[in-house]
Amino acid sequence: MWTYFFNKPQLPLHNLSIMQLKEFRKLFKLHKLQEQWSGYTGTFNFWLFTAEDPGLILKFFMRMMIVAQMAMNVIFRLVFRERGMETAWFSPNLLYVGKKCT
């Protein structure tokens, strides 16, 4: 949603459909891989937020989000332990671990 409002030209570069785990897994079925694990990794990351032409106020706000992220990382680790908030809503990454079938 951030990209939609602040950096629309970058939106076509994202393949949003494969950020759904079911669709992501389909990408690997064609390659004769046996899934070992797949899922969301990481918790949202303010470093991923960009703006096409940020003004002074938006630059300041974006820097403050990065500073806030440091505190949030500690809080998330304390509250969620090893699990984190790795869900479709909060994770910026998907990971697939597979074994090649022979």
Determine contact, residues 35/24, Cβ cutoff 8 Å: no
Confidence bin at 102 (pLDDT 50/70/90)? confident
> Please, are residues 52 and 7 in contact by the beta-carbon 8 Å criterion?
yes
Q: Please, are residues 68 and 45 in contact by the beta-carbon 8 Å criterion? A: no
- Number of helical (H) and strand (E) elements in the chain, helices listed first: 3, 2
Per-residue pLDDT at 77: 80
Query: What is the SS3 assignment for 53?
Result: coil
Model pTM? 0.66
What are 38-69's pLDDT values in tens digits?
998 877 777 767 777 778 888 888 888 888 88
Q: Where are the domains of the chain?
A: 2-100
